[in-house]
Amino acid sequence: MMRIGLYSETARRPVVRARELRDAMDTLSLEFLGFDLPSLTLTRYRERFAEAPEGLDLANWETFESENPSCFGSMYRLRARRRR
C-alpha cells in the first residue's frame, strides 16, 4: 500500500480532478483504497452516497467534488496499491 499526495500550484485547485485521478489509477494499474479526509467531509460524502459509504467509487467522488469544490482543499491524500 502507498500513500499519495497530489499538490496544487495554488491553494484553490487540485492538480487533478477525481475523474483524472481515476484515469491515472487505471493507467498505473493501481487500486484505489480511499482518501484520507477530515471526518466532516467523510460524513457529508456518506450522507450523499449512503449506498456506497466505504467511499471507494471515484465516480461518486467526482460528483461530490463538483458539488463541493473546496472539499479537497489544495491536495488529494489517498491510499492505493497495485492491482492483484
Torsion 11-75-43-29 (CA) sign = positive
Contact 48, 66 (CB under 8 A): no
Mean pLDDT of 52-74: 87
For the chain, give the secondary structure using H, E and C.
CEEEEEECCCCCCCCCCHHHHHHHHHHCCEEEEEECCCHHHHHHHHHHCCCCCCCCCHHHHHHHHHHCCCCCCCEEEEEEEECC
pLDDT at 69 over 90: no
User: Which one is predicted more confidently, 5 or 25?
Assistant: 25
